[in-house]
C-alpha cells in the first residue's frame, strides 16, 4: 500500500505543488504541504478530556507499549546481556540465539502483513508470549541440566513471536506521534524499554553478587514480570481511537486479503526503493551484540562483574536514546539538517567506540582467556566505562534507524512493512553472527566484522538521507504531482 492509498483521493486540488520554487526554504514547502494536507485530507478532532483524555493520549499508549517491551524483550536483553544467558557454558545460548534470529528473520519479513490483518494489539499480544517461554526454558535447564534442547527450541519459537511483537511495536510507535514528536516519542519508548534491561540486570546483580551462576530465583522473577507484559496489550486502546496532538486521528490500516497484503511488501519497495539503502544499517543493528555480550562481557568477567556491566549497559541506553532523540527533534533545524547531524554523531561514536575496543581485543583470544576480571580489580574501571559507551552507541543506532523510517512515511501500513524489513534483516545478521560465535570464530574476526558492518551501514545510509529525507513526509511533492 502506498502512502496515498491510505486516504481517499480528492477530486481536485486547490494547491498546486508544481508552483513551489525548488530554492524556497524547507519550512515554507513543509508549511504549504501541511496546509494542503490539512485542508483536504486530515480533519481535526476535539481532544478527549479528563481520565479518557489521559487514557487515549498518544504518549500514554506509547508508554504502555514501552512497558510491554520493558517486561518482555527488555528482560530478555537483561538475560542475554549477561553472556550465555547467565550460564557458565555459552555455546548453547549462542545456538539458541542463532535459531531465534533465523526464524525471526523469516517471519519478521512478513510480520507487517500479519499486523495489518489481525491488528496491532493482537499481534503485540501474540508476540509477547514467546518471551515468557524462552525465559522459562532457562529455568528448566537450571532444574534439569540436560534440557539444553529446550532452550534452542524455545529460541526458535521466540523468533516467530519476536517478529510479530517488534513489527506491531514499530507500526504503533511511528504512527502515534506527529512529525515533530517522532524523535521524542522514540526516545521515551527506548528509555522505558531499556529500563527492563536495567531492572533485570539490577535484580541479577543483587541476587547473584556472591554466586558463580544465575540462581532459580532470578529466572522465576524474570518469568513473572514477563507474564505481566503478556497481559498489558489487553488494556491498551484501539489505535483508531487515538487522536494526535495536532487533532488528527491515527490512520488504521485497511484489512484486505492475505494475498493483497503480501503484495504490499513489494509495493512498499516499489513506492519507496530508497529503503534498500538502509538495509546495511538494518543488517548491522544487532550484529555487535554477540561480540559485546559473549566475546567481551562473558569472556573477560566473572558473574558479578558481568551483572554490573549489564546494569550500566542498559542504563547507558537510556542516555543514548534520549540524547539522540533530543537532537532529532530540534525544531530550530530543518529535518534534513537533523538527519545529517544524527548521521554525523553515529560516525563519531562508531569510530570512537571501536578504536577504544581494539586496544582491549588485541590482548586476548579464545585460547588465552582464563582468569576472570572482578569489579574490585584495577583493570575493571576502564573496561566498564567502555561498556557504557557501547550501550550509548547501541541506543543511538537503533533510534536513528527508527527515526529515518519514520521520516520516510506516516502511513502505518507502510511503516509496518518497513519495520518488518528492519527486523528481518537485523535478525538475519544476528542469526549468522551468533552461529559464528557458537562454532568458535576468533574474537578478533568477530570484532572486525562488527566494525566493518557498522561503517558500511553508515556509508549506504548517507545517499538515502540526501535523496529521500525531506522536511515533511505527509506527502512528498513528487507524489502530489502524480496525484494531479
Cβ–Cβ under 8 Å, residues 113 and 258: yes
Cβ–Cβ under 8 Å, residues 404 and 156: no
- Indicate if the pLDDT at residue 254 is higher than 60: no
Beta bridge partners of 301: 373
C-alpha 414: how far from its chain's center? 17
Question: For position 1, what pLDDT does the model report?
Answer: 35
Question: For position 18, what pLDDT does the model report?
Answer: 33
- Indicate if the pLDDT at residue 138 is higher than 90: no
Cα–Cα separations (whole angstroms), residue 99 to 104, 151, 159, 171, 430: 8, 10, 7, 25, 10
The stretch 285-311 carries a mean pLDDT of 89
- Indicate if the pLDDT at residue 21 is higher than 60: no
By C-alpha distance, which of 156, 102, 124, 151 is closest to 423? Answer: 102
Q: pLDDT tens, 350-383?
A: 999 999 999 999 999 988 877 788 989 999 999 9
Distance of alpha carbon 135 from alpha carbon 218, whole angstroms: 10
Q: 329-356: string of b/e by CB count within 10 Å (b at 16+)?
A: beeeebbeebbbebbebbeebbeebbeb
Residue 459's pLDDT band, with cuts at 50, 70 and 90, is: very high
The stretch 416-434 carries a mean pLDDT of 83
Helix, strand, coil % over all residues of the chain, rounded to 5 = 75, 0, 25
Q: 38-51: string of b/e by CB count within 10 Å (b at 16+)?
A: eebbbeeeeeeeee
In this structure, the number of other CB atoms found within 10 A of the CB of residue 105 comes to 21
Question: For position 71, what pLDDT does the model report?
Answer: 92
Q: pLDDT tens, 391-413?
A: 999 999 998 998 888 888 777 67
Question: For position 15, what pLDDT does the model report?
Answer: 31
Please, is 15 exposed, middle or buried when counting C-beta atoms within 10 Å of its C-beta (0-12, 13-18, 19+)?
middle
Between 8 and 46, name the one with better pLDDT.
46
Residue with cell 531499556: 194
Residue with cell 481536485: 12
Distance of alpha carbon 175 from alpha carbon 474, whole angstroms: 12
Question: For position 448, what pLDDT does the model report?
Answer: 96
Distance of alpha carbon 47 from alpha carbon 40, whole angstroms: 20
Question: For position 65, what pLDDT does the model report?
Answer: 94
The stretch 18-22 carries a mean pLDDT of 35
Grid cell at residue 73:
524483550
Question: For position 45, what pLDDT does the model report?
Answer: 75
Residue 30's pLDDT band, with cuts at 50, 70 and 90, is: very low
Between 252 and 462, name the one with better pLDDT.
462
Between 155 and 201, name the one with better pLDDT.
155
The domain ranges of the chain are 48-241+274-483
Q: pLDDT tens, 320-357?
A: 888 888 888 887 888 889 999 999 999 999 999 999 99
Distance of alpha carbon 106 from alpha carbon 101, whole angstroms: 9
Cα–Cα separations (whole angstroms), residue 275 to 283, 408, 414: 13, 9, 11
By C-alpha distance, which of 416, 54, 39 is closest to 248? Answer: 39
Grid cell at residue 405:
523510517
Q: pLDDT tens, 68-119?
A: 999 999 888 888 776 655 555 667 778 888 898 889 888 876 777 788 788 8
DSSP string of 330-385, one letter each residue: -TTS-HHHHHHHHHHHHHHHHHHHHHHHHHHHTT--TTT--SPB-TTSTTHHHHHH
Residue 442's pLDDT band, with cuts at 50, 70 and 90, is: very high
18 torsion bin: left (phi>0), alpha (psi -120 to 50), beta (else) = alpha
Q: What is the maximum alpha-carbon separation in the chain?
A: 74
Percentage with pLDDT > 90 across the chain: 30
| Least confident interval from 195-204, 235-244, 310-319, 351-360 | 195-204
- Indicate if the pLDDT at residue 212 is higher than 70: no
**Residues contacting 45, CB < 8 A, separation 6+:** 243, 247, 248, 249
- The topology under which CATH files domain 48-241+274-483 is Growth Hormone; Chain: A; (1.20.1250)
Amino acid at each position: 500500500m502506498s502512502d496515498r492509498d491510505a486516504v481517499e483521493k480528492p477530486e481536485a486540488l486547490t494547491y498546486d505543488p508544481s508552483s513551489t520554487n525548488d530554492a524556497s526554504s524547507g519550512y515554507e514547502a513543509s508549511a504549504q504541504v501541511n496546509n494542503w494536507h490539512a485542508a483536504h485530507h486530515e480533519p481535526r478532532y476535539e481532544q478527549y478530556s479528563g481520565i479518557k483524555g489521559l487514557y487515549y493520549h498518544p504518549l500514554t499508549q506509547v508508554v504502555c507499549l514501552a512497558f510491554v517491551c520493558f517486561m518482555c524483550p527488555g528482560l530478555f536483553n537483561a538475560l542475554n546481556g549477561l553472556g550465555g544467558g547467565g550460564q557458565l557454558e555459552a555455546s548453547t545460548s549462542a545456538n539458541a540465539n542463532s535459531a531465534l534470529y533465523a526464524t525471526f528473520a523469516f517471519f519478521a519479513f512478513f510480520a507487517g502483513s500479519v499486523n495489518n490483518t489481525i491488528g496491532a494489539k493482537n499481534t503485540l499480544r501474540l508476540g509477547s508470549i514467546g518471551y515468557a517461554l524462552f525465559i522459562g526454558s532457562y529455568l528448566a535447564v537450571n532444574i534439569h541440566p540436560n534440557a539444553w534442547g529446550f532452550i534452542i527450541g524455545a529460541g526458535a519459537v521466540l523468533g516467530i513471536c519476536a517478529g510479530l511483537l517488534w513489527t506491531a511495536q514499530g507500526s504503533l510507535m511511528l504512527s502515534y506521534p506527529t512529525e515533530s514528536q517522532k524523535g521524542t516519542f522514540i526516545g521515551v519508548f527506548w528509555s522505558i524499554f531499556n529500563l527492563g534491561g536495567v531492572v533485570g540486570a539490577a535484580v541479577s546483580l543483587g541476587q547473584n553478587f556472591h554466586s558463580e551462576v544465575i540462581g532459580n530465583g532470578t529466572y522465576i522473577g524474570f518469568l513473572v514480570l514477563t507474564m505481566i507484559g503478556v497481559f498489558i496489550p489487553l488494556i491498551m486502546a484501539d489505535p483508531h481511537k487515538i487522536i494526535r496532538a495536532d487533532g488528527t486521528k491515527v490512520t488504521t490500516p485497511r484489512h484486505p486479503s492475505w494475498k493483497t497484503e503480501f503484495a504490499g511488501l513489494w509495493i512498499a519497495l516499489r513506492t519507496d526503493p530508497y529503503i534498500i539503502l538502509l538495509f546495511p544499517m538494518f543488517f548491522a543493528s544487532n550484529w555487535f551484540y554477540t561480540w559485546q555480550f559473549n566475546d567481551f562481557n562473558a569472556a573477560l568477567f566473572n558473574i558479578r562483574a558481568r551483572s554490573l556491566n549489564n546494569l550500566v549497559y542498559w542504563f547507558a541506553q537510556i542516555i543514548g536514546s534520549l540524547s539522540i532523540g533530543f537532537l532529532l527533534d530540534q525544531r530550530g533545524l530543518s529535518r534534513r539538517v537533523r538527519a545529517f547531524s544524527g548521521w554525523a554523531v553515529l560516525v563519531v561514536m562508531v569510530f570512537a567506540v571501536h578504536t577504544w575496543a581494539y586496544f582491549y581485543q588485541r590482548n586476548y583470544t579464545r585460547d588465552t582467556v582464563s582468569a576472570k576480571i572482578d569489579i574490585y580489580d584495577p583493570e575493571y574501571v576502564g573496561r566498564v566505562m567502555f561498556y557504557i559507551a557501547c550501550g550509548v552507541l547501541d541506543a543511538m543506532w537503533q533510534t536513528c534507524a527508527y527515526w529515518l523510517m519514520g521520516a520516510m512515511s506516516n502511513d502505518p501500513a507502510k511503516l509496518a512493512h518497513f519495520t518488518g524489513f528492519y527486523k528481518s534483516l537485523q535478525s538475519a545478521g544476528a542469526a549468522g553472527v551468533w552461529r559464528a560465535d557458537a562454532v568458535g570464530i576468533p574474537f578478533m574476526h568477530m570484532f572486525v566484522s562488527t566494525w566493518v558492518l557498522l561503517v558500511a551501514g553508515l556509508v549506504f545510509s548517507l545517499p538515502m538521507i540526501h535523496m529521500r529525507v525531506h522536511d515533511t513526509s505527509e506527502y512528498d511533492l513528487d507524489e502530489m504531482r502524480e496525484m494531479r
